[in-house]
Amino acid sequence: MAVDYLGLNLIEPYLLPQHMDVTGKVPTPYSSHFRQPAEWETHYACWLAWPSHEDLWLEGLEEARSEFVALCRAIAGPDAPQATIPEKLEILVPDEAQQTLASQALAGLPVHFHLIRFGDIWLRDTAPIFLTNPRGGLATVRFRFNGWGEKYVLPDDAQVSVQIAEKVGGISFSFPWVLEGGSIEVDGEGTGLTTHQCLLNPNRNPSMTQESVEKGLRDALGIEKVLWLDKGLLNDHTDGHIDTLARFVAPGVVLCMEAQAAEDPNHAVLEKIAQDLASFTDAQGRSLTVVRIPSPGKILNEEQEVLPASYVNFYIGNRTVVVPTYGTPQDAEAVALIGQCFPDRQTVGLSARAILRGGGAFHCITQQQPIPMRVE
């Protein structure tokens, strides 16, 4: 069927996932030529969820909302160069009262609200992943969600991906195994990054081997080659999500962090990550170029526990790259170095300390919806 995004005539592919193909097999995204695009490819919108739950955020709710609003304003990019396509904001709200609050806070931005209940705001993990194919098709792909290994099982989170997929419409694929969006990083050219600690963790898919996970990632996301890091940051309740460890910033180029002091709680982990990345080749046969930026160092909460703070948990928007900052001496250098990787975008650093206390940063609370382009 024909759909229209920003005035472009885009044709959905002829294969529907609920139908058998001529061989009697149910088509997968891979067999239908779908792939997960790189994050720097053009977006139609960014999906987020308005911080709403006082029982979860307690006295930190208002500060988290302030950081959320600043992120939304940066993504919409009203002050950024206007040559690029603007990015809409698709925001979940659990009820009309919260929609009123969110509407007031986000006045003047290109927001579309959706009355969808959710457990918390981590849409990178609970929303569907968006796929495109060369025919100009857009699809969503959904996985089972089990609360990050059944550690944080919140009401409504497991249904978020289904409801967003229904709102978007079109083709939606579904897989019965557990995968969170923050656990996989792609370059859009067939390469994926992940960690053993997360995707091979028995609290996700205990019956799946590394080989079966790799086949699943190919079938679901179009990943031809998976590059495995070992483990993630100290006290990361996601069990080593890749989006706090290493990010592609261009084909063949990956960014990771470097400890600035021996007392950095992640010193050894960060060194091992850089060494492993330097030894990898991608799906196109290129040796990876590794760019290193400072680590924020030891960031503590009110109970003096180490938090999994990371500068690489940034969001790549159409006009801006939004980098989480934590009030450390390394903030400015990290933002500047990330900015050098994206000369066509405005790179901004914004406080994410309140959101970090909730468990993550900007990449964790966003999920991009790409604009599918037909390739002739």
* 299-315 pLDDT, tens digit each: 999 999 999 999 999 99
> Residue 146 and residue 229: Cα distance in Å, rounded?
22
Strands (E), 1-133: 2-5, 8-11, 43-49, 88-93, 111-115, 129-132
Q: Which of 48-62, 333-347, 362-376 has the lowest mean pLDDT?
A: 362-376
Q: How confident is the model at residue 192 (pLDDT cuts 50, 70, 90)?
A: very high
pLDDT beyond 60 at 3: no
- At residue 218 the predicted structure's pLDDT band, cuts being 50, 70 and 90, is very high
Q: Is the pLDDT of residue 19 over 60?
A: no
Per-residue pLDDT, averaged over 19-37, amounts to 74
How far apart CA 254 and CA 94 sit, in angstroms, is 37
Residue 29: CB atoms within 10 Å = 26
- Assess contact for 286 and 189: CB atoms under 8 A: no
Residue type, 307: L
Give first-to-last CA distance, the chain, whole Å.
18
Predicted confidence (pLDDT) at residue 162 exceeds the cutoff of 50: yes
User: For residue 159, which phi and psi values (nearest 5 degrees)?
Assistant: -100, -5
pLDDT at 77 (0 to 100): 74
Q: In the predicted model, is pLDDT for residue 161 greater than 90?
A: yes
In the predicted model, what is the mean pLDDT of residues 246-275?
97
pLDDT of residue 34 exceeding 90: yes
Instruction: Kindly tell me if the per-residue pLDDT of 2 is higher than 80.
Output: no
Percent of the chain beyond pLDDT 70? 91
Instruction: Please say whether the beta carbons of 129 and 140 come within 8 A.
Output: yes
Is residue 15's pLDDT more than 60? Answer: no
Instruction: Please provide residue 359's backbone torsions phi and psi, each rounded to the nearest 5 degrees.
Output: 135, -5
Mean pLDDT of 47-57: 97
What are the residue ranges of helices labelled H in 106-157? 123-126, 147-150
Q: Please, which pLDDT band fits residue 118 given cuts at 50, 70 and 90?
A: very high
Cα torsion angle, 160, 163, 165, 167, sign: negative
Task: Give the model's confidence band at 172: pLDDT under 50 very low, under 70 low, under 90 confident, else very high.
Answer: very high
pLDDT at 83: 56
Residue 326 banded pLDDT, cuts 50, 70, 90:
very high
Domains in the chain: ranges and CATH? 2-12+26-370 (3.75.10.10)
Instruction: Find all residues with CB under 8 Å of 286, minimum gap 6, and list them.
Output: 251, 252
Give the per-residue pLDDT at 12.
34
Q: 46, 198, 341, 364: which is the annotated catalytic residue?
A: 364
Is 364 among the residues known to form the active site?
A: yes
**pLDDT score of 79:** 64
CA distance 211 to 343: 38
Q: How far apart are CA 329 and CA 206, in angstroms?
A: 42
Quick check: helix, strand or coil at residue 288?
Answer: coil
288 has pLDDT over 90? yes
Per-residue pLDDT, 9: 29
Split at pLDDT 50, 70, 90, the class of 374 is confident
Residue in the block written with tokens 């990290």: 334
Please give the share of the chain, as a percent, with pLDDT higher than 90.
88
Between 154 and 16, name the one with better pLDDT: 154
CB 91 within 8 A of CB 118: no
Quick one: pLDDT at residue 13?
Answer: 33
Asked if residue 11 has pLDDT above 70, the reply is no
- Looking at residue 23, its pLDDT comes to 42
Predicted confidence band of residue 82 (pLDDT cuts 50, 70, 90): low
